[in-house]
Structure formats: structure tokens, C-alpha cells
């Protein structure tokens, strides 16, 4: 059960970080529309799931 909690925490942190990086990248590239920002957030969230799984497995030794 602790693996699920660890995954949820890691996923929340990685989603926030990757979403923020995506927003900064989109704004630096000059795409200032709401659609571009939302797409960057969605991509960051989608990428955070496998990254959180890899981090969880490395932290727990599985």
C-alpha cells in the first residue's frame, strides 16, 4: 500500500515540475495562447506518470 502513496506523491511533484517547465518553454517560444499553455500542462502531466513509476521503482528497489 505504501507503494501507491509514494507513487501519488511522486506523480504530483513531477507533474507540477514538468507542467511548469512546459509552460515556461511555451511562453519562451512565443506561444501565448491559452490552448498552447493547456497543451503544455497536459503533456507534462502525461509524461509525469511513467517518470513517477520509474522513480518509485528505483526508490523502493523493485
Alpha helices by DSSP H, listed for the chain, are 2-28, 34-60
Are the C-beta atoms of residues 40 and 23 closer than 8 Å to each other? yes
Q: What is the per-residue pLDDT for 62?
A: 75
Where in the sequence is the domain holding 17, given as residue range(s)?
2-60
Structural domains in the chain (count): 1
Q: How far apart are CA 46 and CA 49, in angstroms?
A: 6
* Spatial separation of the C-alpha atoms in residues 29 and 22, rounded to whole Å: 11
| pLDDT tens profile 6-56 | 999 999 999 999 999 999 999 999 999 999 999 999 999 999 999 999 999
Q: What is the pTM of this model?
A: 0.85
Amino acid at each position: 500500500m505504501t507503494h501507491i502513496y509514494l507513487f501519488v506523491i511522486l506523480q504530483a511533484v513531477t507533474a507540477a515540475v514538468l507542467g511548469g517547465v512546459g509552460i515556461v518553454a511555451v511562453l519562451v517560444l512565443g506561444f501565448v495562447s491559452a490552448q498552447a499553455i493547456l497543451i503544455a500542462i497536459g503533456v507534462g502531466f502525461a509524461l509525469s506518470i511513467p517518470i513517477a513509476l520509474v522513480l518509485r521503482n528505483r526508490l523502493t528497489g523493485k
